[in-house]
Amino acid sequence: MANQKTATFAGGCFWGIEAAFNQLEGVIDAVSGYMGGHVKDPTYRQVCSGRTGHAEVVEVTYDPSRVSYDQLLELFWSIHDPTTLNRQGPDVGTQYRSAIFYHDDEQRAAAIESKRELDDAGTFGRPIVTEIVAADEFYRAEEYHQRYYERLGIEPHCGIGGGRERW
């Protein structure tokens, strides 16, 4: 498909983040995986140890003619608490950090501006700690993590909303 782009987000447990993005019109696919670490082809067990440096991420493939990167950012901010360092709900560790992994200068600028606007408005009541860093190699998570809630037929709850309303 010629008209598609990639965006990558980390906001705690990837199951809930993936479920939210897969429901957004214009998203072609959202895939759970790992990014931002120093171990090649990490496993879930390795990432959970906190020693690989990876974050649980969701790689979003989207059609920019149907959904904008700004709309993706809006959803990202709404489905987790970007003010907690290395933690989302009961999940604690660097793998649960909040991060935006940008794929080009346009995404970088949009992410920085979006974060600045939310901080300036005091939207979350505390400073946003979300990292904005260049995307590096994406490692797809094990198959049992993909579309986790959909496969189990249950409502997403892992880190969703950061205590706020569901998307």
Any idea what the CATH number is for the domain that residue 106 is in? 3.30.1060.10
Question: Using one digit for the tens of pLDDT, what is the confidence trace for 103-141?
Answer: 999 999 999 999 999 999 999 999 999 999 999 999 998
Q: What is the pTM of this model?
A: 0.89
Report the domain count for the chain. Answer: 1
**What residues act catalytically?**
13
Is 166 part of any domain? Answer: no
pLDDT band at 157 (very low <50, low <70, confident <90, very high): low
Domain with 65, as residue range(s), is 5-156
Token pair belonging to 20: 């939210």
The pLDDT tens digits for 56-112 are 999 999 999 999 999 999 999 999 999 999 999 888 999 999 999 999 999 999 999
**Does the residue 83 lie in any domain?**
yes
CA distance 50 to 70: 31
What is the per-residue pLDDT for 144?
A: 59
